[in-house]
Amino acid sequence: MSAIPPILLVGLGKMGGAMLAGWRERGLAPSVAVDPTNPPSPGPEVTVVADAGAIPAGFTPSAVVLAVKPQNAAETLPLYARFGGSAVMLSIMAGRTLSGIRGLLGEGTAVVRAMPNTPAAVRQGVTVACPGPGVTAAQRSLCDSLLSAIGTVAWVEDEALMDPVTAVSGSGPAYVFLLAELMEQAAIEQGIPADLARILARQTVAGSGALLAASAEDTAQLRKNVTSPGGTTAAALAVLMEQAAMPAALSRAIAAATVRSRELAG
């Protein structure tokens, strides 16, 4: 028996593809993916079709995973309302609320709203999920299994938290990649060859992340562990930690992303 029951995946973009890869690693029952670009099937257990009308007759998924752009929700979701009576709908659309999704699929539909992030591609993602009205314990457990295939899962009952969650962890990988990008540029400015600058920046960020994941210490303490009084790190942090520098910029960035997540609710 497969660990993952039949799934209908709507959208085979980067996140949809990452989730599908994680399910296949755990053992996926025969499933269907819908994508208008109609890419080749990633494996024999997955049938890829171009639109909702091409889903094989009689296919009964346990979950429908909505991995489409939030801007396309209004035109796309009603095409899958027929599955709402038997399947839980797991949405990873940024900003789209539980009530808005239920309004497009039917008020009696069981919906779980989730926000994964791109490290899901290497099974190191983090996802926060929020269950809507009527979601059963079994449906929640199934969604937890689907999401844990790509990393860590946390659950919240207050849907209002999903917007700042999106701003912190959903968008967060971009902030980390920007840090590596800027470190590389600064290294080049200091005369380090470009190829070495790239190695230093990328591995420093990756290695620090691995140390952070492996350590039980508070993040502030890990920072202090690297910072000798009067040393080079202290000189750099004196610039970065000015209130008008990184602390204020990151706070404004996350606030802006939170606002945008709310705007995407439509």
According to the model, what pLDDT value does residue 43 have? 84
Q: At 98, is the pLDDT very low, low, confident or very high (cuts 50, 70, 90)?
A: very high
185 beta partners: none
- Smallest Cα–Cα separation from 4: which of 145, 116, 153? 145
**pLDDT of 32 over the 80 cut:** yes
User: Following DSSP, what letter does each residue of 232-262 receive, concatenated?
Assistant: HHHHHHHHHTSTTTHHHHHHHHHHHHHHHHH
The answer to whether the beta carbons of residues 130 and 155 sit under 8 Å apart is yes
- Fold of the CATH domain 7-161: Rossmann fold (3.40.50)
- The mean pLDDT value for 31-52 works out to 91
Q: What is the rounded CA–CA span in Å between residue 170 and residue 176?
A: 12
Q: At 65, is the pLDDT very low, low, confident or very high (cuts 50, 70, 90)?
A: very high
pTM of the entire structure? 0.91
The alpha-carbon radius of gyration of the chain (Å, integer) is 21
Q: What is the rounded CA–CA span in Å between residue 27 and residue 74?
A: 32
Q: At 41, is the pLDDT very low, low, confident or very high (cuts 50, 70, 90)?
A: confident
- The mean pLDDT value for 34-40 works out to 87
- Smallest Cα–Cα separation from 20: which of 123, 110, 101, 174? 123
User: Following DSSP, what letter does each residue of 79-139 receive, concatenated?
Assistant: GGGGGTTTSEEEE--TT--HHHHHHHH-TT--EEEEE--GGGGGT-EEEEEEE-TT--HHH
According to the model, what pLDDT value does residue 106 have? 93
Give the domain ranges of the chain: 7-161, 172-263
Q: What is the rounded CA–CA span in Å between residue 52 and residue 49?
A: 8
Q: What is the rounded CA–CA span in Å between residue 27 and residue 145?
A: 12
Q: What is the rounded CA–CA span in Å between residue 141 and residue 147?
A: 10
Give pLDDT tens digits for 128-171: 999 999 999 999 999 999 999 999 999 999 999 999 999 999 99
Is the domain defined by 172-263 classed in CATH 1.10.3720.10? no
Is 7-161's fold the same as 172-263's? Answer: no
